[in-house]
Structure formats: C-alpha cells, structure tokens
Amino acid sequence: MADTIDRVGRLVSALTREEKLRLVRGAPDPEGTATGYVPGVERLGVPEYRLVDGPLGVRAEGERATAFPASLALAATFEPELARRQGAALAREAKARGQDALLAPGVNLVRVPQCGRNFEYFSEDPLLAARFAAGVVEGIQGEDVIATAKHYVANNQERNRTDVNAAVDERTLRERYLPAFRAAVEAGVGSVMTAYNRVNGTHMSDHRYLVRDVLKGEWGFEGYVVSDWYGLESTVGAANAGLDLEMPGVPVTELHGPADGDGPTEAEEDADVASLDGIPDGTRAGFFGEPLADAIDDGAVPADRLDDMVRRILGQLARVGLLDGRRDDGAIDTPEHRDLAERIAVRGTVLLENDGVLPLEDGANVAVIGPNVHEPTLGGGGSSETTPFSAVSPREGMSSRAAGEVTVARGVREIEDVSLFDRLPFVERKSPEDEGVEEHASDPSIEEAVAAAESADVAVVFVRDATTEARDRDDLRLPGEQDALIESVAAAAERTVVVVNSGGPVEVPWREDVEALLEAWYPGQAHGDAIAAVLYGDRDPGGRLPVTFAREEDYPATEETRYPGVDGEATYAEGLFVGYRHFDAAGREPTYPFGHGHSYADFRYGDATATDRATVRVAVENLAERTGREVVQAYVRPPAAPDGIARPVRELAGVATIELPAGATRTVDVELDERAFARYDPERGWVTDAGRYVVEVGRSSRDVRTTVGVDRD
Ligand code: BGC
C-alpha cells in the first residue's frame, strides 16, 4: 500500500501538466472497442486504459460476450454470493476483450416502477441493493478489473434524466439512496460514476456536498469519480466538487463518425440531439481539456486538484496491476460462465402463484404460446445491451425438455425491443450480425393460440415488456395485446401457466384466471433452458421479489409532483416510504409483496431466538418430498421513535438462503445489519433509539412465521 502511494506519487511528480490533463479526459479508442478510453503516457510506463459497459455483460463494440440475467433478476436470487460470481465472470470477460474497467454495477434504488432502467438495478430495498452492490464489486475487483458504481445518486427515472432535479431530504438520502453506494465504497470500489440529474438544485457532477464531502470525505473513497457520458456541465464546478475523469471527453461525432460515412444527412443535421428526452447532448465535451488548464491558471481550480485527480486514477491502475503490465488474458464464453448465467436465471425466477399445476409432468402435451417465444429476452435497451455467442429461446428450451408434444403459437404481434441507440442519430450500431432470426410464415392470431391451448394438457404463455435506458414505461400494463391473449387462452385451456419477462413490476389483472404465474425478468442467454428447468421441476424456482408488485396507482410516487415531476423537479415527498415501506405504512395491499416467492417445497419455521444482538436463529423444516430452496428473511420493527420522527413499520435486516433436502430440518442463523435498527438524524448522524425491537422472521415482508424481541440500549 505504502509502496503504491510512493510509486503513484513519483509518477505524478514526473508527469508534465499536459500529460496530466490527458489522463483526466477521455479520448477516442484507437481500437474502437471501449466505451471509454484514456491514452497512456508511454515515456513513464503509464498504459492506455479502457472502460466498458455494463452490468449485464461486456459491451465491447462489435463483439460478443456472455449475456447474463439482468441485475434485477440477480437480486431476485437474494444470494449475494451469486453477485460475486457474476461480477467475477464479467471481469474475466472484460479482460478477454482487452478492457480494464467495467461500468458496473448499477446500484440506484428502484423508486418508481416505471423507470426504464430498473432492470439494471437491484431493488427497492437499500439493504438488498447494498449487499448486491458489494457482491458485484468484490467479484469484479477480485479479478483485477476496476468496478464502477453508478449513477451517483438519485438517478431514479429516465424521463428527463439529464435535467430533472431530485428534491430529497437528507434523512431520505442517507437511509434510502446512499446505502448501496456506501456499500460499494466499503467493498473497495475503484470508481463511482456521477448521475446526469440534479439533487437539491445542484447537478451531480458539480455536487460538492455529495461528491467531495460525503463520498470522498466522510466515506473515505479513494478511487476516482467519473462523469456519466456527456454528463459534465462545468469545468470549475466539477473539478472543485471532486470529479476526476471526464467521459467520453470528445464530441459524439469524433467518437463514432457520421453513421453512413458520407457525412450527416439533412435529417440528422436537423435532429436536435439535446432536445430528445433522456439523451445527453453529445456535443458537450472537453470541459477537462484546455478549459481545465485555464481554470488552474486563473486560480479557479487549485493545481493540486489536478494532481489529486491523476493520483486517484493511477492509484486504481496500480491496484489492479496495470502499472506493472500485469494483465492476464481473462476468459470469455466459457462453459463455467454459461452455466452461471443459467444458474442465476433459474435462481432469480420467482414463482408468484401455483395452484399445483407446476411442476409440469414430463409427458404433458404443452402449448407454448406468446408473441416472442422464438427469441430469448436478453435485457433492456441501452448501454447494457449484450450480444451473446449463443442463446436459447423459450420455444427451444421447452421443446428440448418436453417429453410430450409441444405446439407453438404466437397469438399476437411481436413485442419489439426498444433501444436508446435507435434514437441516437449519429451513432452507428456495431453489434455483431443477428443470426438465425426466424421468419414467420403467417400473421399470428388469438384463435390459433386458443386452438393450441384447447388441444394441449397445459398452455404456457410467455409475455414480456420492452424497456430501455433513456425512456420510462408509459404504464405498467403488458404492451400490445398480451393481456387479451392471456384472457382468451385462460378461458379455453384446461390449465394455464403464465411466464412474465419484464424489467420491473407489471400489472397482472388476469392472475386469478390462471393456474400458475412466474416472473422471470430479463433472463439473458439461458432464457429457454432456465425456464424449462423450473417449469418441469428439475430445479426449484429460487427467486423472491426484490420489488413490490402492485397496481400502478397504489405506488407512492403517483402524483405528478413526485414523478415524473413538475417544472423539472421531482419531489421525493414520500420520503422514506419507498416500495414495501409505503404499502406497510399506508395499510395498502400489494398484488405481491416484497420478498414473496413460492418454492415447490413447503417449509415450517420453528421459534426464532436471538443468539446475540446481531443474529437470530431459526429452525426450518422442509415438509415436502423434494429438495427446496428457502430464503429466510428477517425484518426489524422498531419501537416508537421520539415525537415527530417517522419510522417504517418494518425494514429488511438480513437474509439467509438454504437448500433443504426432503424432510430435512436445519438451523439457520440470520445476521442482522446494524443500520436496520438505526435511523439517520440530520444533526447526530446514525442513531439507534433504545427500546425493544421486534425481529420478524419469515418468507416475505407479509408472511411472518415467527418473531423475537431484541433490546437496544
Ligand atoms: C449511461 C451509463 C453508461 C454510459 C456509457 C450512459 O448513457 O447512463 O450507464 O455507462 O452511457 O455507455
């Protein structure tokens, strides 16, 4: 450590100012694969440095990579160890593509269900989000790749994302929106990316309080702070607030060149990129070039700030061995990565309802229905898009697993993917060619789907949404005619199973008409195999909801002032009461509560005891004749707080996952997070009120099986 500091210090003294300025501003990647690129300084042995998107897979331009399940699916496993493993796999793939830093994980809280990027985030619960943030960071960095926690902070909607001001009070920031970032810092994250939005009136790249004072000061973050792409607004403000690296550093036209190689078309020239909602202005770059030199000459930015920026960046390069030229080759598309992508997809699948129709019998005749059954749902649109080497569609997965007859009917028109990239006039997509896209012989019809359902033993209907970065969903309904398709099939079929693939909660108005319902998120390349393994019972559906499912009007941020905001401001007036905390406080019934998810097994809980102030112990018995996976959840119910201070009814404090063979009983210890007992007091910081706290232990936030009191003094 001391050696690294000396070494980086010596380098900083040896660099000229020109060289330092080049290290804090991105440039075009000569190889054209990176999302962000920093040229090195050859004479001093500082290597060039590549940053690449993103949380679901490595998005090196024009190249393939393993397409992992979306972050929300990962979080639905409730098992941070899988986050560690996914992070490590992403890092190995990044190295195989010659990349040095990953622009992942995305750790923003799921505040509004409409947010187009919820699939890239973990949860509405700060503890769950924090555990997964730490897991991914540890996984990535254990492989000597730099992780980037993004987008700091309160980037909770895509609507007007480049401009919206999040008006949020200090306690809410501390208890809800900051914990996942803090956990990433505690896990040693090398980089934090600032968000596009403002918080309490200040653009995040200029936010002295949140960047310099809280992130770097209070939390002791020693890595570098990178801007989001075209996310800088000023030179002096950003430099003095603690921003260390401008990305991508050059205007979009310099990075990609005009789309057709013949110069922009008239239409492209007319397109006012900056005026498109959610699209950053790609002409705004170079704040850290000459303008930074001038600001230092003027005395507006202290010269040692530039040294600090460089020190922070080089410190990370040193930490992962890049200054020693230590780069192993990594690995991509290995059997291990493919298996992991499938395992996470299985474990993240949430069985919301099951009247006993599942698991399917091997020999059942199955109608596989749905507009997109011929293609895997890889993810949402935007910077996290990944092109896999191979992928399995639901139709393929079901056909290869089924022993009975499989008939396929699309039913209604295909739901088309949406992508941020389709809205960027100057960006040419360099994804590898799509292979094997099926041509359809005829138009789909609901009649055809009904006929298939009538002649089968069971109908499995696959439905999905389509979400993207830079755009929120208009509503929580399934798009197109999919609700009508489900209703018709459910009326005709003897038994109907619905599998939803979505980037967040959706409304399921037909749920009482179907025999089983699963939420499988965006499962990535293993889609078909993973869902077939769950439906046929080869694997227990391991997932639990990391977000509450409810009707749109029942969520807390329904008033326009809260979301999407009025006159450019979204007021976080619900405060602490995000997600299940709102439903609990308002006494409102969600459709499916936070933490919910069935297993094919059936569990009995014994009485919980507190082994010490931070651990509760409970015996869990598997009553079923098959192995099952249980997610034991502990929530803390605080005693009444001093006058005028609100506390949620319950807060997630700990989770333990176990695999239990048929008939087995195990004692499970759930570690409780200290902050679940505490509240943030703007004057005193984190405080724990004395008194008796009730720890609820159970299967979801609304399915408490046993409780135990824990005293605090
Ligand atoms: C996104 C970031 C991403 C960056 C680079 C931005 O539009 O908000 O998450 O890492 O682009 O692709």
| Average of per-residue pLDDT across 113-139 | 98
Find the radius of gyration of the CA atoms of the chain. Answer: 25
Mean pLDDT value across the chain: 94
Q: Which residue has the tokens 């600001």?
A: 295
Cβ of 116 less than 6 Å from ligand 1: no
- Alpha carbon of 654 to ligand 1 centroid (Å): 31
* pLDDT > 90 in the chain, percent: 88
Q: How many CB atoms lie within 10 A of CB 474?
A: 8
Q: Are 406 and 398 in contact (CB under 8 A)?
A: yes
pLDDT at position 307 over 50: yes
pLDDT at position 363 over 90: yes
CATH match of 335-415+442-546 with 3.40.50.1700: yes
DSSP letter at 208 equals I
Cβ of 108 less than 6 Å from ligand 1: no
- Alpha carbon of 150 to ligand 1 centroid (Å): 9
DSSP string, 544-567: --SS-B--GGGSS--STTTTT-BT
Give the residue numbers annotated as catalytic, written as ranges.
228
Cβ of 103 less than 6 Å from ligand 1: yes
Confidence at residue 264, expressed as pLDDT on a 0 to 100 scale: 53
Query: Measuring from atom 4 of ligand 1, which residue has the nearest CA?
Result: 229
> Distance (Å, rounded) from C-alpha 691 to C-alpha 188?
34
DSSP string, 465-490: ---BTTB--S-SSPSTTHHHHHHHHH
Q: Which one of 2.40.30.260, 2.60.40.10, 1.20.1300.10, 1.10.3210.10 gives the CATH number of domain 602-712?
A: 2.60.40.10
DSSP string, 275-295: GSTT---TT---TTSHHHHHH
Q: Quick one: pLDDT band at residue 418, thresholds 50, 70, 90?
A: confident
Confidence at residue 259, expressed as pLDDT on a 0 to 100 scale: 44
Q: Which atom of ligand 1 is nearest to the CA of 120?
A: 9
The distance in angstroms from the start CA to the end CA of the chain is 39
State which of 162, 228, 423, 427 you would mutate to test the pocket of ligand 1, scoring each by most atoms of that ligand within 8 A of its C-beta.
228
The Cα-based distances of 443 to 370, 466, 689 in angstroms read: 13, 21, 64
Beta strand 665-671 pairing with 651-660: unpaired
547-578: pLDDT as tens digits = 999 999 999 998 999 999 999 999 999 999 99
Cβ of 698 less than 6 Å from ligand 1: no
| Bond prior to 151 in cis (omega within 30° of 0) | yes
Confidence at residue 72, expressed as pLDDT on a 0 to 100 scale: 98
Confidence at residue 616, expressed as pLDDT on a 0 to 100 scale: 98
> Distance (Å, rounded) from C-alpha 507 to C-alpha 494?
23
- Alpha carbon of 305 to ligand 1 centroid (Å): 25
Bridge partners (DSSP) listed for residue 592: 549
Query: Measuring from atom 3 of ligand 1, which residue has the nearest CA?
Result: 383
Strand-by-strand arrangement of the 146-152 sheet: 36-38, 49-52, 101-102, 146-152, 191-194, 224-226
Q: Which atom of ligand 1 is nearest to the CA of 248?
A: 5
Domains 2-256+271-319 and 602-712 share a fold: no
678-689: pLDDT as tens digits = 999 999 999 999
Q: At 240, which amino acid appears?
A: N
Is residue 454 left, alpha or beta, with left meaning phi > 0 and alpha meaning psi from -120 to 50? alpha
| Bond prior to 359 in cis (omega within 30° of 0) | yes
pLDDT at position 427 over 60: no
Please name which of 280, 208, 272, 224 lies closest in space to residue 251, comparing C-alpha atoms.
Answer: 280
Token pair in block for residue 464: 């999905």
- Alpha carbon of 14 to ligand 1 centroid (Å): 33
488-538: pLDDT as tens digits = 999 999 999 999 999 999 999 999 999 999 999 999 999 999 999 999 999
Token pair in block for residue 346: 């299985």
State which of 229, 420, 431 you would mutate to test the pocket of ligand 1, scoring each by most atoms of that ligand within 8 A of its C-beta.
229
Query: Which DSSP helix (H) or strand (E) runs through 535?
Result: helix 527-535
CATH topology of domain 2-256+271-319: TIM Barrel (3.20.20)
Token pair in block for residue 525: 């390349």
74-119: pLDDT as tens digits = 999 999 999 999 999 999 999 999 999 999 999 999 999 999 999 9
Query: Which DSSP helix (H) or strand (E) runs through 92?
Result: helix 80-96
Sequence-distant (6+) residues with CB within 8 A of 99 are: 33, 34, 50, 51, 52, 58, 60, 145
> Distance (Å, rounded) from C-alpha 553 to C-alpha 277?
24
Bridge partners (DSSP) listed for residue 368: 408, 460
> Distance (Å, rounded) from C-alpha 24 to C-alpha 212?
17
> Distance (Å, rounded) from C-alpha 199 to C-alpha 207?
8
Confidence at residue 647, expressed as pLDDT on a 0 to 100 scale: 96
Confidence at residue 433, expressed as pLDDT on a 0 to 100 scale: 57
Buried-exposed string 615-650: b where 16+ CB fall within 10 A, e elsewhere: bbbbebbbebebbbbbbbbbbbbbeeeeeeeebbbb
pLDDT at position 267 over 60: no
pLDDT at position 253 over 90: no
pLDDT at position 226 over 60: yes
482-500: pLDDT as tens digits = 999 999 999 999 999 999 9
Q: How many CB atoms lie within 10 A of CB 667?
A: 11
Is residue 323 left, alpha or beta, with left meaning phi > 0 and alpha meaning psi from -120 to 50? alpha
271-282: pLDDT as tens digits = 455 457 888 899
Domain boundaries, the chain: 2-256+271-319, 335-415+442-546, 602-712
| Average of per-residue pLDDT across 575-603 | 98
- Alpha carbon of 685 to ligand 1 centroid (Å): 33
Buried-exposed string 309-333: b where 16+ CB fall within 10 A, e elsewhere: bbbbbbbbbbbbebbeeeeeebebb
* pLDDT > 70 in the chain, percent: 95
Kindly report whether the global pTM for this prediction surpasses the value 0.75: yes
